[in-house]
Amino acid sequence: MKKAFIFPGQGSQFPGMAKELYDSNQKAKELLEKANEILGFRITDIMFEGTPEDLKATKVTQPAIFLHSVVLAKCIEDFAPDMVAGHSLGEFSALAAAGAIGFEDALRLVSLRATQMQACCEKVPGMMAAIIGLSNEKVEEICASCEGIVLAANYNSDGQVVISGEKEAVGQACAKAKEEGAKRALPLAVSGAFHSPLMEPARIELGKAIEQTPMSAPVCPVYQNVTALPTSDPAVIKENLLAQLTSPVKWTQSVRNMLSDGALSFTEVGPGAVLQGLVKRIAGPVEGLEIKGLTTL
């Protein structure tokens, strides 16, 4: 039975995240203290004692989720994945956990990603919305028929696609989706149009840092968001990471490919349980399929 380890993205944070891990494991404590040094502020204080509002600050949210996920993975004694994948931000966690990027380098990239995305959102207003109950193709068709920039940004599961783009265009697409029979067209509480062309300024800045970051072959194939395909080639990994900020997250397609390649065990590593729910919906009834989560050791 092949084991897949999957890593969550933004939105999975919660007050008290990783505190149990910090208190019970010396290695985890050392890594988290190292992260405080690298970031230049005590992110652990916010993770352990902050309010939900404190944890929503972009410069905190992304590094916090990354740290919870990667530190936990590094403390699992028998961590031996056959394949890994992460949703959006979680792709950086997956790459660090699988040894493609060093812990410190990956944390610096995640911190830069967060600040650049926030700056981008402030300069170029945009929004995202979840469309529930329509096929991928129908959502793509609706986006293509709208004026302005709007496109499918997250293929989360069958019948759940997140769109992203300019506010007016996203609003127009939501109205059309309802006319076409969508169960819901729900604006998301995010600060901008992630995984759309509106993130281009952030992509350029992050791209410079990715280009300079040492990359190794991971211990197992990584199924990347941009292609949904497995790779262990550092050059391909970099290329896909460079494209990730302005390209859709092909999560449904990634999980399908992992299943096709023999994954029967999916373990979500880090805060929350969002990906477990998505995998269940994507996989449907599969004999012997095991889906679980790890938030602490």
Q: Each residue of 151-180: pLDDT tens digit?
A: 999 999 999 999 999 999 999 999 999 999
Between the alpha carbon of residue 13 and those of residues 95, 112, 138, 251, the distances in Å are 20, 19, 32, 19
Which residue from 216, 210, 275 is spatially nearest to 249, judged by alpha carbons? 275
Burial of residue 197, with CB atoms counted within 10 A of its CB: 0-12 exposed, 13-18 middle, 19 or more buried? middle
For the chain, which domains are there? 2-122+197-294 (3.40.366.10), 125-187 (3.30.70.250)
Mean pLDDT over 52-60 rounds to 89
Is residue 293 helix, strand or coil?
strand
Mean pLDDT over 129-134 rounds to 98
Do 153 and 163 meet the contact criterion of CB atoms below 8 Å apart? yes
Which residues fall within 8 angstroms of residue 288, CB to CB, at 6 or more apart?
A: 1, 264
CA distance 84 to 118: 27
Q: Of residues 195, 196, 247, 254, which has the active-site annotation?
A: 195
Do 276 and 293 meet the contact criterion of CB atoms below 8 Å apart? yes
Using 50, 70 and 90 to split pLDDT, how confident is the model at 259?
very high
263-269 vs 230-231, strand pairing mode: unpaired
Is residue 244 helix, strand or coil?
helix
**Whole-number pLDDT of residue 59:** 85
Beta bridge partners of 69: none
Which tokens is 17 given? 């995240």
Q: Of residues 12, 88, 93, 191, which has the active-site annotation?
A: 88
Is residue 32 helix, strand or coil?
helix
Query: 191 versus 276: which is more confidently predicted?
Result: 276
pLDDT at residue 144 is higher than 90: yes
**Which residue type occupies 252?**
T
What average pLDDT is seen over the chain? 96
**Whole-number pLDDT of residue 140:** 98
**Whole-number pLDDT of residue 191:** 80
Handedness of CA 124, 174, 55, 26 (dihedral sign): negative
- Catalytic residue check, 68: no
Beta bridge partners of 292: 267
4-51 tens-digit pLDDT: 999 999 989 999 999 999 999 999 999 999 999 999 999 999 999 999
**Whole-number pLDDT of residue 125:** 86
Mean pLDDT over 134-159 rounds to 97
Which residues fall within 8 angstroms of residue 278, CB to CB, at 6 or more apart?
A: 156, 157, 160, 251, 252, 255
Beta bridge partners of 7: 86
- Catalytic residue check, 87: no
67-116 tens-digit pLDDT: 999 999 999 999 999 999 999 999 999 999 999 999 999 999 999 999 99
Beta bridge partners of 223: 85, 230
pLDDT at residue 56 is higher than 90: no
CA triple 264-269-271, angle to 5 deg: 135
**Whole-number pLDDT of residue 70:** 98
Which residue from 248, 208, 258, 200 is spatially nearest to 227, judged by alpha carbons? 248
229-239 tens-digit pLDDT: 999 999 999 99
Do 218 and 100 meet the contact criterion of CB atoms below 8 Å apart? yes
Using 50, 70 and 90 to split pLDDT, how confident is the model at 189?
confident
